[in-house]
């Protein structure tokens, strides 16, 4: 079918005002520079189904999107005939405050969802990047993005209990429910966590919620060297403290964040940001224990609360995009907790050897090191390759989160996927036999 007829049919399904076709309007909805024939904003699940049925019949590739904050995640896309954004699927369907569960359409912005839940003093404890600039519930599930709260509350995998998905052939599939323990057989909703839009368009989701803690405080503790800061990380993790977030900031990042958040951080030091969220007395007592433990390893700390604390965590959450800027390279090294100092040492050498700028923060209780890099392409490629070898040799992995396509191609987004690739491909074929959804993102 000629493009003009395709666009006409798509416009019939979702309506003129919910269709973008002009290059100047498409803006952020262009995965890796691909030029979609149309960007669609269906108003309801029926329209999503109809678009997919039509796409399948014409073999058109469909890129699911929320706000488009992470559209480039994964391998370079092999096709983008249609971008389908869930932005208009943004109703909060039910908030069962007494049962600590809520169901919402997946185009709902996380920030709006949190505002509604806050009315009942509850929240969904995820804090991924782009929280303020438009991350939607569906996009967060599909990318399994997470932030510093991951230590205390886990990721979407732990919080998602039910899902409604439109499959590639347009049929609607429901998995799980609003009952927290209700999974018989395979836990299918979890299959969609991190599926990057390759298995279906997530339309609705049900989450378990938590009460907003009465009090929150953070101490920022600086150390003269990495051995001492790591020793404190290990003492904190082995203690019976209930820590919500524990970030281990590289000296460059600590200085930059201190400046941005208006906090006096000791220059050129590895710094821990330790957050406790609990009832006031528990927060006070635990903060004291944390400072005592850290000072035994030579750390000196400042306490942060209120607006300054919020600002600090916003800067930590967003540093990969704010410090590296548009087009920056972002990677995540996933290693054992005890290998985090090794990753830091490797990164420390890059600026001098390759002339690149590096900022990094370890989610120290999870072994996830977020790294942002800026510099010459060749230097970026060789540094990322080195980091991947280091991580994989220790049983971990390095995932490229954002980079220009040339860097992605030369380094590879995922690295060595091991024996699960065949199974993943079979799952993909089962859900999307014509390979119309986000083709190519899967290795």
Ligand X SMILES: Cc1cc2nc3c(=O)[nH]c(=O)nc-3n(C[C@H](O)[C@H](O)[C@H](O)COP(=O)(O)OP(=O)(O)OC[C@H]3O[C@@H](n4cnc5c(N)ncnc54)[C@H](O)[C@@H]3O)c2cc1C
Q: How far apart are CA 323 and CA 318, in angstroms?
A: 8
Q: Is 250 in the site for ligand X (CB under 6 A)?
A: no
Give the shortest CB-364-to-ligand X separation in angstroms. 15
> How many residues of this chain bind ligand X (CB under 6 A)?
20
Q: State phi, psi for 293 to the nearest 5 degrees.
A: -60, -45
Contact pick of 195, 206, 329, 361 for ligand X (by CB under 6 A): 195
Q: Is 74 in the site for ligand X (CB under 6 A)?
A: yes
Contact pick of 265, 399, 411, 436 for ligand X (by CB under 6 A): 399
Q: Is 417 in the site for ligand X (CB under 6 A)?
A: yes
Q: Is 226 in the site for ligand X (CB under 6 A)?
A: no
User: 77 vs 228, which CB is nearer to ligand X?
Assistant: 77
For residue 325, the SS3 value is: coil
Stretch that binds ligand X, among 14-22, 59-67, 194-202, 258-266 (CB under 6 A): 194-202
User: 194 vs 375, which CB is nearer to ligand X?
Assistant: 194
Give the shortest CB-429-to-ligand X separation in angstroms. 12
Residue partners of 94: CB distance under 8 A and separation at least 6:
101, 102, 103, 178
User: 328 vs 396, which CB is nearer to ligand X?
Assistant: 396
**Euclidean distance between the first and the last CA atom of the chain, given in angstroms as a whole number:** 30
Q: How far apart are CA 215 and CA 117, in angstroms?
A: 17
Element (H, E) at 51: helix 45-58
Stretch that binds ligand X, among 34-42, 137-145, 291-299, 314-322 (CB under 6 A): 137-145
Binding to ligand X (CB under 6 A) within 264-323 occurs at: none
Structure tokens at 119: 């009315």
Give the shortest CB-377-to-ligand X separation in angstroms. 22
Contact pick of 134, 154, 194, 342 for ligand X (by CB under 6 A): 194
User: 270 vs 319, which CB is nearer to ligand X?
Assistant: 319
Give the shortest CB-173-to-ligand X separation in angstroms. 17
Q: How far apart are CA 325 and CA 128, in angstroms?
A: 17
Is the CA virtual torsion 239, 245, 248, 252 positive or negative?
A: negative
Stretch that binds ligand X, among 15-23, 55-63, 99-107, 195-203 (CB under 6 A): 195-203
Give the shortest CB-75-to-ligand X separation in angstroms. 7
User: 129 vs 258, which CB is nearer to ligand X?
Assistant: 129
User: 145 vs 231, which CB is nearer to ligand X?
Assistant: 145
Contact pick of 13, 45, 196, 283 for ligand X (by CB under 6 A): 196
Structure tokens at 327: 């087009």
Residue partners of 330: CB distance under 8 A and separation at least 6:
320, 321, 324, 370, 371, 372, 373, 400, 401, 402, 403
**Edge-to-edge strand ranges of the sheet holding 92-96:** 92-96, 101-105, 201-208, 160-166, 172-176
Q: Is 61 in the site for ligand X (CB under 6 A)?
A: no
Instruction: Specify burial of residue 182 (Cβ count, 10 A radius: 0-12, 13-18, 19+).
Output: exposed
Q: Is 64 in the site for ligand X (CB under 6 A)?
A: no
Does residue 237 contact residue 365 with C-beta atoms inside 8 Å?
yes
Q: Is 396 in the site for ligand X (CB under 6 A)?
A: no
Q: Is 170 in the site for ligand X (CB under 6 A)?
A: no
Binding to ligand X (CB under 6 A) within 322-341 occurs at: 334
Instruction: Enumerate the β-bridge partners of residue 275.
Output: 218, 245
Q: Is 198 in the site for ligand X (CB under 6 A)?
A: yes
Contact pick of 111, 235, 321, 397 for ligand X (by CB under 6 A): 397
Q: How far apart are CA 362 and CA 137, in angstroms?
A: 24
For residue 367, the SS3 value is: coil
Give alpha helix (H) positions in 59-177.
Answer: 110-118, 137-143, 150-153, 156-159
Query: Pairing between strand 101-105 and 300-304?
Result: unpaired
CB atoms within 10 A of CB 47: 20
Q: Is 414 in the site for ligand X (CB under 6 A)?
A: yes
Stretch that binds ligand X, among 8-16, 35-43, 193-201, 388-396 (CB under 6 A): 193-201
Contact pick of 90, 111, 114, 144 for ligand X (by CB under 6 A): 144
Q: Is 384 in the site for ligand X (CB under 6 A)?
A: no
Stretch that binds ligand X, among 9-17, 140-148, 221-229, 263-271 (CB under 6 A): 140-148
Q: List interacting residues with ligand X (CB under 6 A).
A: 73-74, 143-145, 155, 194-196, 198, 334, 397, 399, 414-415, 417, 424, 441-443
């Amino acid at each position: 079918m000629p493009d003009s007829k395709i666009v006409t049919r798509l416009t019939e399904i979702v309506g003129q005002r919910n269709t973008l076709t002009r290059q100047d309007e498409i803006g952020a909805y262009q995965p890796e520079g691909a030029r979609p024939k149309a960007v669609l904003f269906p108003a309801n699940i029926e329209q999503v189904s109809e678009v997919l049925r039509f796409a399948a019949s014409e073999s058109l590739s469909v890129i699911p999107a929320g706000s488009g904050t992470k559209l480039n995640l994964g391998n370079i896309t092999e096709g983008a005939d249609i971008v389908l954004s869930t932005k208009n699927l943004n109703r909060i369907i039910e908030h069962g405050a007494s049962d600590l569960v809520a169901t919402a359409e997946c185009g709902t912005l996380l920030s709006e969802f949190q505002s509604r839940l806050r009315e009942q003093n509850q929240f969904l404890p995820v804090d991924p990047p782009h929280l303020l600039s438009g991350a939607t519930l569906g996009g967060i599930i599909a990318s399994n993005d997470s932030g510093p709260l991951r230590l205390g509350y886990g990721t979407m995998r732990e919080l998602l209990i039910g899902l409604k998905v439109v499959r590639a052939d347009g049929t609607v599939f429901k998995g799980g429910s609003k009952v927290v323990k209700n999974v018989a057989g395979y836990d299918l909703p979890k299959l969609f966590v991190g599926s990057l839009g390759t298995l279906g368009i997530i339309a609705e989701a049900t989450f378990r919620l938590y009460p907003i803690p009465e009090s929150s405080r953070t101490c920022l503790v600086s150390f003269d060297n990495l051995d001492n800061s790591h020793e404190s990380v290990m003492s904190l993790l082995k203690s019976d403290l209930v820590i919500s977030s524990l970030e281990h900031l590289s000296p460059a990042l600590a200085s930059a964040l201190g400046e941005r958040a208006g906090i006096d951080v000791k220059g050129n030091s590895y710094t821990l940001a330790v957050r406790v969220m609990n009832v006031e007395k528990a927060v006070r007592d635990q903060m004291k224990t944390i400072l005592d433990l850290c000072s035994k390893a030579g750390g000196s700390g400042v306490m942060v609360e209120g607006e300054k604390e919020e600002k600090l965590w916003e800067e930590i959450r967003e540093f990969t995009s704010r410090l590296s800027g548009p087009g920056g390279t972002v990677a995540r090294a996933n290693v054992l907790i005890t290998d985090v100092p090794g990753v830091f040492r490797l990164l420390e050498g890059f600026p001098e050897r390759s002339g690149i700028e590096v900022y990094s923060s370890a989610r120290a209780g999870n072994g996830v090191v977020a790294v942002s890099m800026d510099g010459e392409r060749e230097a970026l490629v060789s540094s990322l390759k080195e980091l991947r070898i280091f991580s994989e040799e220790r049983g971990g992995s390095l995932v490229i989160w954002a980079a220009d396509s040339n860097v992605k191609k030369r380094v590879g987004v995922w690295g060595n996927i091991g024996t699960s690739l065949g199974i993943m491909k079979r799952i993909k074929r089962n859900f999307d036999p014509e390979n119309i959804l986000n083709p190519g993102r899967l290795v």
